[in-house]
Amino acid sequence: MLLAGLCLSQESSTAFRQSELIEPSALAAKIGSGNAPYIICVAFPVLYHGKHIPNAIFAGPGSTPEGLAMLKTAASKLPKDEPVVLYCGCCPMEKCPNVRPAYALLKQLGFKNVRVLDVPMNMYSDWYSRGYPAEPPDKK
């Protein structure tokens, strides 16, 4: 599958605490209620442009200096005390090269309420196949 082929990192020893995660069903409910947090996609461009969570801000892959620079620019427009959810979903979260650097950067920038979408397998398995909200592929 294309998604798994994009994840090149090795397993990370840094696991997120439960308080740092948000379950897909909980985020989908917030989106459905009109009370969605700021959502930032730190995946590879092909994944975002293929399909993404509604109103997600694309900030580039968190594993690259360019992606982190894009995230810093996107974050500069957001209030630091509002909820922010990061997601990637390129592969199983314990191997994801993008979410940990992005999470660390937002915390370093002073964001107080950052969570990571809990995507144990990938976005297809844990979000799209479950019928959670998604915007269709970009028509570029």
Give the residue-averaged pLDDT of 68-92: 97
Among all chains, which residue has been given the structure tokens 């092909």? 46
Per DSSP bridges, beta strands 57-58 and 21-22 are unpaired
The residues with which 85 forms a beta bridge, in sequence order, are 39, 115
Over range 82-109, report the average pLDDT.
Answer: 96
pLDDT > 70? residue 50: yes
Q: Write down the pLDDT at residue 139.
A: 61
Name the CATH superfamily housing domain 36-130: Rhodanese-like domain (3.40.250.10)
Tokens of 84: 């922010």
Say if residue 80 is exposed, middle or buried (CB neighbours under 10 Å; 0-12, 13-18, 19+). Answer: middle
Query: Angle CA(90)–CA(3)–CA(67) in degrees, nearest 5?
Result: 40
Q: What is the CA radius of gyration of the chain?
A: 14
The per-residue pLDDT for 10 is: 43
- Cα distances (angstroms) measured from residue 27 to each of 9, 41, 55, 118: 26, 14, 13, 10
pLDDT at residue 42 above 50? yes
Is pLDDT at 12 greater than 60 in this prediction? no
